[in-house]
Amino acid sequence: MEQLIDKEHARKVILGDTEAYIYKHGYVSEVAHGVKENNEWAIEEMGDFLASQIKEDCFLVPAPQHTGKAEYTLKVCEHIKEVCPYEITILDVMGCTPRETLYAIKKAWQETNGKDLKGQKFSSGMYLYDAIQDIEGPVYFVDNVVSTGTTLRDAKELIPQIKPLVFAVSAKYIFSK
């Protein structure tokens, strides 16, 4: 069984120009799953960590969930705005076609095809429902976990200047780069 890693021993990496935890079971997975379940402690924990990464006025774009709109990521952005000493503007402008979670889609594909996902490209079905124009300053894509990078890749296609501001990243994603 995998060892549970507490907050003090959770490793971090640089993703873009911010830090993210390396996804491991224990503190990091507890926060990531808690946010999805609208656990207030987890939302605050994630929001505080992400707010500590922000060094200037900026824009936050919450990642849409598989339901089609930003839900828990929007709550995290709202908490960041509350606690961050900089001017934060939340741009809730991304949606996606409602679907199963990307995790479920990828897992089903793997089971059906009996292969690793290496080299496979999936789409999150994301789109912009409001145009972003004449924005000056950093624009961050707020998500809880980057697993394979599909959502982050699709966000960058929609908003080329967007940078990741995420709580955790999978080791598989880091080492596939």
Local confidence band at 109 (pLDDT 50, 70, 90 cut-offs): very low
Local confidence band at 133 (pLDDT 50, 70, 90 cut-offs): confident
Q: What is the pLDDT of residues 12-69, one digit of tens each?
A: 999 999 999 999 999 999 999 999 999 999 999 999 999 999 999 999 999 999 899 9
What's the confidence (pLDDT) of residue 125? 81
Local confidence band at 118 (pLDDT 50, 70, 90 cut-offs): low
What's the confidence (pLDDT) of residue 148? 84
Q: Of 38-52, 120-134, 155-169, which gets the smallest average pLDDT? A: 120-134
What's the confidence (pLDDT) of residue 93? 96
CA torsion through residues 7, 52, 139, 97, sign:
positive
**Higher per-residue pLDDT: 100 or 5:** 5
What phi and psi values does residue 174 have, to the nearest 5 degrees? -60, -50
**Mean pLDDT computed over 136-140:** 95
End-to-end CA distance of the chain: 27
What's the confidence (pLDDT) of residue 116? 56
pTM here? Answer: 0.85
Average pLDDT, rounded, for the chain: 88
What's the confidence (pLDDT) of residue 167? 98
Q: CA–CA separation, 82 vs 171, rounded Å?
A: 31
What is the number of other CB atoms lying within 10 angstroms of the CB of residue 126? 19
Q: What is the DSSP letter of 9?
A: G
